[in-house]
Structure 1
């Protein structure tokens, strides 16, 4: 039985296990095997591990201080399989980045300032650069806060998360195909798509192409997930993220639908009026509807609405200050694109919340480099 120290932190609407890079390396065990065993990934219930049996709770980040000038922290994000002995390393997670920022402040990985502390991070999966700014009154790392985000009523430490120059973070181009709109072949025929790379690669479709209007509940939207899963693979090939014969990724690109604003009720029954948001969105997380929206998807949408001709730009209510209010199943989530100097793409800011839940010694059943 292998012992591994870890910390569980809620970042936004995800739970993420954070591990120190040196502690992971010291086990001498292949990191995929280590995470698969720790999470009990082989079981769809993850009953014998620390996973939560959902895409938003089967996540990990491996963190270390960075030697790169202008960077404090490097972290690798892992999406651990659920009933699937596979770890996805191809993407980033903004909610886990929120958790990493709080972890870094508490573990002395950055100098703490007397008012607010900004953690400068690089996601090694994608090369994405982010900042997480946390209140540190009197130079102390906070354990509690009053910040709330749509998707949970739990309170947390406020974290202002910034995605710096997010365009082309994976493929090198904001529009990997060079087109604002492409046509992909889905199970029911051709479908228009906007393939965007900002924050994360994303394939965006209009809701009406699936007989939807963007206000659907999670259960109603689930009917479109099988078709979107097929289209995710088509989009990956079109964006150069995969080649024929490669294993199918269930995490990249992000896929979802967009539509013009209309009244709807959130998962908790709150009525959202048409004028309270700018773009309706429903996203897929692995094999299921996302209960809110992944932050990297929000960044992709905030970028897409600034590009003439994309499906998101067609449907979104335009604002003068770069603010985009996204109508998600959990409620309205706001992203703001802030102009950046030197020709870089706009920094996208999102207000998040994080809370440390547990520090624990995991007892991991790894045998000869493989899960026992």
Structure 2
């Protein structure tokens, strides 16, 4: 019971604590009030009623009025309370027994001999301790990793990229990558069937590769609708869909680098763009068993943002030169490329309206001039006036 309570408490706290996790203790009284006054799924009684024989009076009672209770002589209270508690506890025991049988039957239905095949994409359970952070409130799954081979029934060899070191892990630390990526709602109008006939309906004479995935990148200004568009492919069984990894920008060793970059671009723009290059490099090298890989943003458009911030004075010329040089080195050395660019063209004014309507906390101070410059640089990029490494 204590472990179950602790798990519920951690789920509650992880939903309300701030990014620095320093205010977790201020939320405990609110959790206790909610927990003690909520009907337990198994016992069908509130913890307060189980202990005292009556339910708590909540703030809502001030508006609706308390539930009327029958007054009794004071001499009968103790005996009535004892009888009421016995009835409640007997009822709770019956419910616990029924729930136990129900949970066992449900578990037996889902229990299966889970196996992964070489080439399957998986999550890896990799808990890490960080100074000043509560490990129980951290995100402990990382990936996707690719199954290299199965050593025995419960041990697998995996790797993250073609150049990364292989790891040998137990089956209990793995989870299907496709299953978790679909927990995010694909949006209306989607289904488990392919949205496109990838074999015969690709533009410009492009066709699926036999030895590697077809690589497609979704590009455009901030707030142009890239995420909404890309999410439509989450349910496509032939597509490995990679949304823009905002979580990796918001948690760099416990620091929200994305927010710092918007608040003080003169100081943090170089660090942020360098981090983006590392993240996008890993995503380009990500292996998948699916015939199509769709990425939101890429190494190529990263140079557009480098030039944007150089024009706005957030990056000095030598900083922009170093970032471009590093990008060109990675693209050439590892032969990074894409087969198709999908550019969502909208006006900077439309992007500005969309940004204000979605209200991401890091984007509250984005100026319209930034969006206009990003738009201009993207237009130059697509006409090959600026970026020398356009994919075919």
Larger Rg belongs to: 2
TM-score band, normalised by the shorter chain?
under 0.3
As a proportion of its length, which structure holds more strand?
Answer: 1
With a CA cutoff of 8 Å and minimum separation of 6, indicate the structure with the bigger relative contact order.
Answer: 1
As a proportion of its length, which structure holds more helix?
Answer: 2
Normalised by the length of structure 2, the TM-score is 0.22
Normalised by the length of structure 1, the TM-score is 0.23
